[in-house]
Chains A and B, each alone.
Chain A
Amino acid sequence: MNASAWQMLFDGAWTTLWISAVSIAIGVVAGLIIALIRLARIPVIDQILVLYISLARATPLVTLALFIFLSAPTLGFGLDRSVAGILALTINTTAFNAEIWRSGFRNFSRDQREAAMATGMTPWITFRRIMLPQMIITSLPGLINEMSFLIKGSPAIAVIGVVDLTRVTNRISAVTYEPLPPILVACALYMVIIGALVWLQRLAERRANRLAT
């Protein structure tokens, strides 16, 4: 592999990273908002959210990415490939994160909540000051796990033409006629990214356990 091949690989890795990072950032927050809305059990809205979550979790990422990319023009607007990719990844990961946050709410100590209410905290202050800081710690292992899944699933967006870390290996071997070296490097790069997340997850788990005792 020559210098330009390396350059292409790192560009692909960067594309995978930033598109995943944007999707994760939006997905973690949007998942929390959905979990919060679901707490209110508003009729119709709750059913819509349940439907969204089951559909988003059941649809393969490749299918979802294609669907978004192809349906946008028929709805009257074209989508940039990257934006369509981010949209697909976000729709997918938000649904999983919503369930992670929801179980965080469900498992939160009723005793602690009552203690907060008893001091005169409103439900919102109780959420902001007492529940959320602890839920972040207890939900983080699950959220990071979902981040790894998202990154491992991200090559799906190649189907709409985004040149990510997986897709770029194809392009390189089309020139060099040596498919193995770029794919090996790509594997190594994925391992570095996922390895970092696994390490973070372990840290997060240790913190979560410390809070529980």
Chain B
Amino acid sequence: MPDDTAVSIHQLSKSFDDVEVLRDVSLEVAPGEVVTILGASGSGKSTLLRCINWLEQPDRGSIHIAGQRIGVDDAGKRMNARALARVRAQTGMVFQSFNLWPHLNVLHNITEAPVHVMGKSKGEAQTHARELLDKVGLSDKAQAYPGTLSGGQKQRVAIARALAMQPEVMLFDEPTSALDPELVGEVLTVIKDLSAEGYTMVIVTHEMSFARAVSDQVVFLDKGLIIEKAAPATFFDTPSTQRVRDFLKNHH
């Protein structure tokens, strides 16, 4: 497996109750690359993303994060919880519904994993957290509790929380789908800034113009199969399958 990829997915398959949700999916993400995953509802986008950090266990195939296999150890056995957690720490995930921890304020949501997973000192973690809050435009919300924030603010905290672990790759599962339309922009702007800074990201989204602007590679999933994989200009202007042409027509 090439060690210079951030994420390398090899012939991944996954079924839920006899329904194949992913079929032989292979995908390489280079460091600094932004890959967006498009596809109709139920095509397997979330499942693919959740397999990357092993929130979902694939039935077949392999996934490497920065050269390290996730879920299965060197002896070919299922990883124990500690080893799995160590590889997961190399990935950051942003969920559609934010999933902040309501009992912790914004600052502690961000420092919790660096302190208790990486073993960072509280002071160091808080300094870094404040830099990240600055980056996502929420320096004034460090002491606020999640319950008092708007959706857009929550999602930006969630992004900062994921960034705090300095992951090899950031995974976004429809980060703006749960937001009121007027709050979508502030979150997309943050993600665009991250791409400009060279973060490696895999993004599931329904925002077509955003996907076009931010991606290096667009992947189209149809019933668990990657049927198109192309640079954004090619994908959006000259798609090679009828399926994608229909999809794009319905999303404009």
Number of A-B contacts (CB under 8 A): 71
The answer to whether B103 touches A119 (Cβ under 8 A) is no
The answer to whether A123 touches B147 (Cβ under 8 A) is no
The answer to whether B101 touches A119 (Cβ under 8 A) is no
Among B117, B161, B165: residue with most chain A CB under 10 A: B117
The answer to whether B101 touches A112 (Cβ under 8 A) is yes
Q: Is A117 an interface residue (CB 8 A)?
A: yes
Chain A 115-139 interface 0/1 with B at a Cβ cutoff of 8 Å (1 = within):
1111111110100011001100100
The answer to whether A112 touches B99 (Cβ under 8 A) is yes
User: CA of A119 to CA of B86 in the docked complex: distance in angstroms?
Assistant: 9
A112-B101, A115-B93 given; A121·B147 CB < 8 A: no
Closest to B147 in A: A213
Q: What 20 new A-B contacts, CB under 8 Å, besides A115-B95, A121-B117, A122-B85? A: A111-B97, A114-B95, A115-B158, A115-B161, A116-B113, A118-B55, A119-B88, A119-B92, A119-B117, A119-B162, A120-B88, A120-B117, A121-B116, A129-B116, A130-B101, A130-B112, A134-B101, A134-B102, A211-B102, A213-B147
Among A119, A120, A129, A134: residue with most chain B CB under 10 A: A119
- When distances are taken between beta carbons in the complex, the residues of chain A under 8 Å from B162 are 118-119
Interface size class of B (residues with CB under 8 A): 20 to 34
**Pairs across A and B, CB under 8 Å, 22 listed:** A111-B95, A114-B55, A114-B95, A115-B99, A118-B53, A118-B91, A118-B93, A119-B88, A119-B92, A119-B117, A119-B162, A120-B118, A120-B165, A121-B116, A121-B117, A122-B82, A122-B85, A125-B117, A129-B112, A137-B103, A210-B147, A211-B102
- When distances are taken between beta carbons in the complex, the residues of chain A under 8 Å from B191 are none
Q: Is B75 an interface residue (CB 8 A)?
A: no
Chain B 78-109 interface 0/1 with A at a Cβ cutoff of 8 Å (1 = within):
00011001101111110101011111000000
> A-B pairs with the 10 shortest C-beta distances?
A120-B89, A119-B113, A115-B99, A118-B93, A111-B99, A122-B85, A120-B117, A120-B88, A120-B85, A134-B103
- When distances are taken between beta carbons in the complex, the residues of chain B under 8 Å from A213 are 147
Interface size class of A (residues with CB under 8 A): 20 to 34
- When distances are taken between beta carbons in the complex, the residues of chain B under 8 Å from A137 are 103
Chain B contacts with A in 138-193, Cβ cutoff 8 A? 147, 158, 161-162, 165
User: A: which residues have CB within 8 A of B?
Assistant: 109, 111-112, 114-123, 125, 129-130, 133-134, 137, 210-211, 213
Closest to B93 in A: A118
Contact for A121 among B90, B93, B113, CB less than 8 A: B113
- When distances are taken between beta carbons in the complex, the residues of chain A under 8 Å from B53 are 118
A114-B55, A118-B92 given; A211·B85 CB < 8 A: no
Chain B 206-233 interface 0/1 with A at a Cβ cutoff of 8 Å (1 = within):
0000000000000000000000000000
A119-B112, A120-B86, A129-B112 given; A114·B161 CB < 8 A: no
- When distances are taken between beta carbons in the complex, the residues of chain B under 8 Å from A112 are 99, 101-102
- When distances are taken between beta carbons in the complex, the residues of chain B under 8 Å from A133 are 103
